[in-house]
Amino acid sequence: MTETATRPAALGRYEVVIGLEVHAQLLTRSKMFCPCPADYINAAPNENTCPVCLGLPGVLPTINEKAVDFTVRTALALHCDIPPFTKFDRKNYFYPDLPKGYQISQYDLPLSLNGYLEFPVGGEAVRCGITRVHLEEDTGTMHHAGDVLQSATSSLIDLNRCGVPLMEIVGEPDLRTPEAAREYLVRLRQILTYIGVNDGNLEKGSFRCDANISLRTPGAQELGVKVEVKNMNSFRAVQRALESEIERQTGVLDSGGTLVQETRGWVEAQGRTISQRSKEQAHDYRYFPEPDLPPLRLDAAFVERVRATLPELPEARARRFQEQYGLTAYDAAVLTDTREEADTYEALVAAGVPAKLAANWQSGDVAALANEHHTPLQHSGLGSDGLASLLRLVEAGTINGPTAKELLAELYVAGGNPEALVRDRGLAQVSDTAELSALVDAAIAANPAAAADFRAGKQQALGQLMRAVKDATGGKADMPLVNRLLRDRLSEQ
């Protein structure tokens, strides 16, 4: 266990101890132990199957090299050690979603051990140990009967997902609050998507989390009775489930009761966990080494080759953005939230857009449009090259802010060349001092009351005069210049 952040839980009578287990599907094209396509979502049920993943007799599994590479990449990003020798084991489990009768997993010699993850919680840096990251295979999916055609006593089995590479990331019980558990998952998901091994979709189940939680008297060395919580398919659900579980366990302990070691499922609609099975019923998985798969010897050269493929990780990139581009910690965090976002930002700066201007537009209007149209900039009509041209026009003073906003919204959907559009439509900013001075005089003459109010000290009266000049130019006036000209003229006696 590494250095632990101990933020006391809201209910201070007990110390809360949380450890998370994450299962993340790897973004390989084929399955873990057979060459069936790994895409289980877009195929009709049971289409992507073969004798290996169907568990038919007489077949031999083979190890997907990419899955090993991705797991080692993850382990290195999480500061784990990569032992020189690793093997697969059979985890025996008799259930129809895994027709072999066992899951190929890793037991005593996993691909990696002893890492950690650092992340901020309420402005404070927290470090959580990573016990291990290992490789296994996913199960098929079961649809329990419910519709009219099916009697309530049967289940439908689809084995497309069976054998999809699954990485298990086991965290140490270092987390002390539901909020810290949530932030751990947010950062872990960010890293997995940054390094391109997982798509981070909690709702669809490609990134899944189970939590172990117990309470103990503050200062106690031994852990309390552990409850495993499942069925949480959003970050919010994880936090709420753990909060509800703390409340329940506190209630049991306060009333002199005893907690039982069990698995509980989070029921979103009811906002509480429900007992699924107690540990007395738990399986004896009878692990033994997988005789059909030769072990792996991953030498230092292999590990270094994988390390060289690691991109700059989000935390380091955010730090560099602050130093290199003079961004605030907040802006740097927003702009490095995803790798695509950070790449876009650096493309804008490389294309000659000043760092601060690029940051403001990207995290402001562009983010709002991406959200509104459910389309990131890279897939919009404008693209990051188009945005760079548009922002260069702003920086050069060719167009004003409001014109740029309107063009951005239009081009985001329709696409087009900002420079050509500004030229063809005559959208260039009016910043000719003589022309604007004449319009300023006309505005003062047409709005004598507003002019008098401003001269009498009412600052807000200037707005009406600014609008009059803006309208007279069809919205194209250089407004900071108009502001200065109006103030100059109105201060003359």
Residues at the site binding other proteins, with contacts judged by CB under 8 A: 21, 23, 28-30, 35-38, 44-51, 54, 62-68, 87, 91, 93-98, 103, 136, 139, 143-145, 149-150, 152-159, 168, 210, 228, 276-277, 281, 283, 288-291, 293-297
Tokens describing residue 261: 């070691």
- List 350's β-bridge partners, or say none: none
Shortest Cβ distance from residue 40 to other proteins (Å)?
Answer: 11
Find the helix or strand (DSSP H, E) in which 210 lies. Answer: strand 207-216
Strand-pair category, 262-267 with 227-232? parallel
Find, among 406, 402, 405, 398, the residue nearest to 426 by Cα.
Answer: 398
Taking the least distance from each CB to other proteins, the nearer of 154 and 433 is: 154
Shortest Cβ distance from residue 344 to other proteins (Å)?
Answer: 28
Taking the least distance from each CB to other proteins, the nearer of 228 and 346 is: 228
Tokens describing residue 443: 């505005």
Strand-pair category, 272-278 with 262-267? antiparallel
Distance CA 106, CA 93 (A): 14
Taking the least distance from each CB to other proteins, the nearer of 209 and 404 is: 209
Shortest Cβ distance from residue 155 to other proteins (Å)?
Answer: 5
- List 370's β-bridge partners, or say none: none
Shortest Cβ distance from residue 65 to other proteins (Å)?
Answer: 4
Shortest Cβ distance from residue 326 to other proteins (Å)?
Answer: 42
Shortest Cβ distance from residue 270 to other proteins (Å)?
Answer: 20
Shortest Cβ distance from residue 271 to other proteins (Å)?
Answer: 22
Taking the least distance from each CB to other proteins, the nearer of 51 and 364 is: 51
Q: Which residue has the tokens 């250089």?
A: 478
Distance CA 236, CA 248 (A): 18
Distance CA 457, CA 444 (A): 16
CB proximity list for 386: less than 8 A, separation 6 or greater:
411, 415, 416, 417, 418
Find, among 237, 175, 245, the residue nearest to 207 by Cα.
Answer: 237
Tokens describing residue 487: 């103030």
Tokens describing residue 268: 């979103």
Distance CA 485, CA 429 (A): 16
CB 199, CB 14: distance < 8 Å: no
CB 335, CB 329: distance < 8 Å: no
Shortest Cβ distance from residue 169 to other proteins (Å)?
Answer: 10
Taking the least distance from each CB to other proteins, the nearer of 15 and 168 is: 168
Q: 3-state SS of 83-114?
A: CCEECCEEEECCCCCCCCCEEEECCCCCCEEE
Taking the least distance from each CB to other proteins, the nearer of 103 and 400 is: 103
Shortest Cβ distance from residue 336 to other proteins (Å)?
Answer: 29
Helix 433-446 to helix 448-455 angle, to the nearest 10 degrees? 100
Shortest Cβ distance from residue 208 to other proteins (Å)?
Answer: 9
